[in-house]
Structure 1
């Protein structure tokens, strides 16, 4: 019979924590919509007295010392992308991270990626 400790630790995975436990039950970010390639950087501010940061949020804040995307941060922390997006939106709400403005390519002002490039990326992914 398994002991309670064995249920919460995977042989190869280590401690198992459900994503909803990390996000306190939330499934969507509040405030800022954080997509895969949004560049975020720490503002250098310290959290207020009433702000409690989880271990995961402190780790994300540490990694955001250099501009990073949610996709990279999810990879670096081994957290699901959606969890990272929710935690980053919280950090943004606290004023601890901000979006890095990206320069617009010459001749384009829509702020949207070129559909031809997206289709090419999609085609290459399908080949994998």
Structure 2
């Protein structure tokens, strides 16, 4: 066996410390008791006027990273997972924590079926021009 502790042959020096996803979420797989379901396209916005907006000491580093990513602009769950390099399931649980604390809001984009018909919009524009 190579030098080091048993099992170290599975890790390379460039990988850095390995933290299992269940350690980041405390073993949870659901996004909190609120029953929130985070679709990949759900949009996450930071709440800047939350009661504990300045107190990040109770949050883990992953929570703070998500807050930092949302600080500049609204992000989708898929974007947050990609930017943090975390599995989507972990990001959903962490976002559930932030939602419970009132640190973020989650909205869903308008489904294409609920958008107005393009023909109607052209008629409205034509009507406005006619005025």
TM-score under structure 1 length normalisation:
0.70
Counterpart for residue 52 of structure 1: 58
**Alpha-carbon distance in 1 for matches of 2:29, 2:108:** 26
TM-aligned CA deviation for residue 101 of structure 1: 5.5
Counterpart for residue 21 of structure 1: 23
Structure 1: segments with no counterpart, 5+ residues: 108-128
| 1:74 aligns to 2:74 (yes or no) | no
Structure 2: segments with no counterpart, 5+ residues: 118-131
**Alpha-carbon distance in 1 for matches of 2:9, 2:18:** 9
1:10–1:80 distance in 2 versus 1, CA, 3 Å: farther
Counterpart for residue 33 of structure 1: 37
**Alpha-carbon distance in 2 for matches of 1:100, 1:87:** 16
Larger Rg over CA atoms: 2
TM-score under structure 2 length normalisation:
0.69
Q: Which aligned pairs between 1:1-128 and structure 2 lie closer than 5 A?
A: 1-3=3-5, 10-30=12-32, 31=34, 32-44=36-48, 45=50, 47=52, 52-65=58-71, 66-100=73-107, 102-103=109-110, 104-106=114-116
**Alpha-carbon distance in 2 for matches of 1:8, 1:98:** 40
**Alpha-carbon distance in 1 for matches of 2:61, 2:9:** 22
Q: Secondary structure at the match of 1:82?
A: helix
- The farther-off stretch of 16-25 and 26-35 is 26-35
